[in-house]
Structure 1
Amino acid sequence: MFKKIIKNLDNRFCDNRFYRFLKELFRRIKEDQISATGAQLAYYLVLSFFPFLIFLLTLVPYTPLASEEVLTQILANLPSNTRELLEPIVVEVVSQRSVALLSSALFLALWSGSSGMANLLNAMTAAFDITNMRPGIVKRLISVFFTLMLALIIIISMVSQVFGDQLIQAVIRLINNSIATGTITLLWDLTRTVLPLIVMTLGFTLLFKFGPGFPANQKVSFKEALLGGTFAAVAWMLISLGFSFYVDNFSNYSRTYGSLGGIIVLLIWLYISSFVIMLGAEVTASYITVYKGGLRHTLSLEITEADD
């Protein structure tokens, strides 16, 4: 029955590139086993998550950011179980200003964080069907670069929100007009809401364009990387919000796993994040395959035995 439905769809939409794009995307998801890859990446992200978080929060006392703002920004998208797990760690680290802690956290974050990033880049290399010919030391340096870029993006995003509020308040006091004040406040609220999505989209786009190590004759354009980056950013935000809502209102991980409930929720969230990032890479790869002629396999209307 299913085979017949697929065959009818193939016959009907064989000339429709969007249909071919969807078919290519689902084929890649199956063949590249991104569900299993997401689970592997989640393991490495767990190893890198806490060192990276400690390093990031150790930098906070050296910035104009307040601890409460950092807590709000970092924990905003996490389910309540995970927030309860991480909040004591966050509060303790932010309240300290230790050079020794900063140095050790920096080393651990670069090592563990770049290891997780290296595995992510290897998975994306497989998604794009290329061979990364970079030397091992170059691969590790690139992984370190993207790890540091992630920390920089988070800090810049937070600082811009803080100074943005101060700048808007100064402009409002200068103008002293109720209508203009309302308009400016509305525009800033919209900007503050969209800004994390824009920053995340840019980060994913740069990751998809420069991370995998494309050969000189197989470069991905910024537009092609932007497609996957936008998809990954929007999907990640929506799925994270949905998962957080589900955990807070319907699930009961604490009763099932006891004190480990927060860790289990964190693992699931990291798995979802890994899956979405890989899905964004597959979106770009599928787009290139169908719309740009970079076919890995010739699309066929025949249903192979593997599809049974």
Structure 2
Amino acid sequence: MALRSDRCFAPALPGKRGNPLQEVPLAATTENPDGPTELSRRSWFAVLKRTFAQFNHDNMLDWAAALTYYGVLSLFPGLLVLTAILGLLGPSATQTLIDNVGRVAPGQGRDILVGAIEELSKSGGLAGPAAIIGFVGALWSASGYIGAFMRASNVIYSMPEGRPIWKTVPLRVGLTVAVLIVLALCAAGVVATGGVARYLGDLIGLGSTGVLVWDIAKWPVIALLAGLAFAMLYWVSPNVRQPKFRWLTPGGLVAVLLWAAATAGFAFYVSNFGSYNKVYGSLAGVIVFLISLWISNIAVLLGAELDAELTRGKERASGRPADDEPFLPPRDTAAMDDDEAAAVETKTTD
């Protein structure tokens, strides 16, 4: 699996090798757009073409496979945390989560998730200790996923990792905590339905009307929270100084929509046309589960690539050469060797 790219560890020089970006022209303008979303329609079209070209050029399918591995390591400790917390709310909250997972997860993959949640929920009497142990394990495992995503982000932005380990480890752990908090809010939104929603509605005085409104509005809210998690990932992970933090990014929203569409489409395919049981037998559930995680990571990485190309499009619309890589200044160069740091600084300050 090719997980390293020369674009990540050596800044590309003009004419050094072929670059798919040079095949998709983007006319420079005399105006400097304030943000990527202010690009012209022609520029947007070029950005979309370059996004797919760069996605392939950066070997993002391989990186999605690597993230799937780290995702598997972090998923079940994360489920332990989630079920332990939900155990404090009572068995109905856990059952609501199981019902929603059963509707969303594809094919036999849902059996793995539902079975894991049911087994973990049996230790509801130890919700407090289980939550602490599970949180520590999930935090360590999930930070491995974030670390891999940081490396993939550097490939996307053509930037070597210049942050020393004493900066990257706290950064990835802190980012992991932030993302887990947002995902916990998403999970809370999922389980806040039916009897749980009525109980919470009565508790804060909303009544049945407020509960009905929430049942309809919760999915857009959950989608926005997921978009916020992606925005944090996309802004913090790469070793580049981006113009400013955006609470929601085009790439984040695209990642959410692609993930939802791809998951639903794959679930439909597995249920109606797939023959995984015939081919893989008892391993069918595991195969379906891994493929669904891989598809999800493809959506996340494609969103990151889109945000990077939008930023690149803004730079090019301002007159920056198309083959300038990296195209944003680094956050830190302390971990780079002198020649590499000098090359990066020269390319990003011209």
What is the TM-score normalised by the length of structure 2?
A: 0.70
Higher helix fraction: Structure 1 or Structure 2? Answer: 1
In 1, Cα distance between equivalents of 2:247 and 2:180: 25
1:24 alignment partner, one of 45, 50, 71: 50
What count of residue pairs does the alignment treat as equivalent? 279
- Contact 1:14 1:20 survives alignment (8 Å): no
Point out the more displaced range, 188-197 or 281-290.
Answer: 188-197
- Distance in 2 between the 1:296 and 1:113 partners? 36
Distance in structure 1 (CA, Å) of the matches to 2:277 and 2:137 = 30
* Gapped regions of structure 2 (runs ≥ 5): 1-22, 29-41, 326-350
Where does residue 249 of structure 2 map in the other structure?
226
Identical pairs, percent: 25
SS in 1 for 2:249: helix
Is 1:132 paired with 2:161?
Answer: yes
The corresponding residue for 2:114 is: 87
Tell me whether 86-95 or 233-242 shows the greater mean CA deviation: 86-95
1:109 to 138, 144, 152: 138
Is the contact made by 1:80 and 1:248 (CA closer than 8 Å) also made in structure 2? Answer: yes
Q: What TM-score do the two structures reach when normalised by structure 1? A: 0.79
Residues 105-254 of structure 1: pairs in structure 2 closer than 5 A: 105-160=134-189, 161-162=192-193, 165-166=198-199, 168=201, 170-172=205-207, 181=209, 187-214=213-240, 218-223=241-246, 226-254=249-277
Does structure 2 conserve the Cα–Cα contact (< 8 Å) formed by 1:209 and 1:220?
Answer: no
Work out whether residues 168 and 188 of structure 1, in 8 Å CA contact, stay in contact via their aligned partners in 2: no
CA contact under 8 A between 1:79 and 1:244: conserved in structure 2?
yes
The more displaced of 138-147 and 38-47 is 138-147
* Structure-1 separation of matches of 2:237 and 2:252: 13
User: Given the superposition, is the C-alpha separation of residues 110 and 22 from structure 1 closer, same or farther in structure 2, using an over 3 Å criterion?
Assistant: same
Moved more, 102-111 or 205-214: 102-111
Q: CA offsets per residue over residues 81-112 of structure 1, 9 Å max, x none?
A: 01112222211211213365444433332222
Q: 1:164 to 1:134 in 2, by over 3 A?
A: farther
RMSD after superposition: 3.0
Please, which runs of 5 or more residues in structure 1 have no aligned partner? 1-8, 174-180, 300-308
Match of 2:97 in 1: 70
Give the letter aligned to residue 155 of structure 1: A
Equivalent residue, structure 2, for 1:3: none
